[in-house]
Homo-oligomer: A and B are copies of this chain.
């Protein structure tokens, strides 16, 4: 019996300059370069075992065996690695998602980043993290950014080989994020479907692409200058522009719910009352993310608690790059997961 085992942890990330639209559906090549902040509070731990004796791939998530449909997604992703090394061994994948239950955040970014790193480690692939990010990308576009910590850019590239992510800054300068997890129901319109409909029908999409290019350049300048106000303003503007493209699609649609608006109004009110630098962004779902100073987080949570249930407000600091875990780490992770349920 030959067995190859890899274990890895990757954190989720929130885009400040959004990825919204693919130029290649198959290869997950984006229409624009994007930039994110990796979050400490949300991560996925994944163990992958390639074994000669297995007769099929299998996949367990949070201790539950997954459906054939979910396994197929994993299998297609593992095929990239199997093709790369020219070996067809089946694999067992076990994942634990460390996402507060109330958050209901999409975990595909951390999931595919962790699986990519675990697979590369198991198969002893000699890849740079950048190269590996081109693999992660094929599982879920945004997972390409979850291989790195702090502020991360995903370069749109010219093709599959150079559409990769790299770290911009470790975000170790009084940066925090609150996730206002107002609604954890599954979204009605998958981001894949929403972005494609937008690309195809929104008359505002060309201006979105054009100005997002400018936003990316400006936010990198702000990050390097540690100019938090400009960083935040660009973040809020870029995110709202993304949501404007869904309203301008034909027929129009929105990821916002009444609870999203209540959360937005709460943030605006608190921003006005406390004179704090807080900036909102939203993704393809109803939750509101708030970029803020880490040193302001406690005051913010307290003020926002007047408007939202406290358990819906989740704090995070910037997170680190994806990392290899030992077997002991994995056992500790299992222990931690079982305790939190």
Residues of A within 8 A of B (CB): 203-204, 206-208, 210-211, 233, 236-237, 240-241, 243-245, 247-248, 250-252, 254, 256-262, 264-265
Contact = CB atoms under 8 A, between A and B. Distances in A.
Given A204-B244, A258-B261, 17 more contacts: A204-B204, A204-B208, A204-B241, A206-B207, A233-B250, A237-B250, A237-B251, A237-B252, A240-B247, A240-B252, A241-B248, A241-B252, A243-B247, A244-B245, A244-B248, A258-B259, A258-B265
Contacts of A204: 204, 207-208, 241, 244, 248
> Taking the full assembly, how many copies of this chain does it contain?
2
Nearest to A210: B203
B257 A261 contact: yes
Nearest to A233: B251
B258 A248 contact: no
A15 to B, nearest CB: 16
A109 B260 CA distance: 32
A241 B237 contact: no
Contacts of A211: 203
A133 to B, nearest CB: 29
Contact of A260 (B206, B236, B243, B261): B261
18 contacts: A203-B241, A204-B207, A204-B241, A233-B250, A236-B251, A237-B250, A237-B251, A240-B248, A241-B247, A241-B248, A241-B252, A244-B247, A254-B264, A256-B256, A256-B261, A257-B261, A258-B265, A261-B261
A257 to B, nearest CB: 6
Contacts of A233: 250-251
A240 B331 CA distance: 51
A265 to B, nearest CB: 7
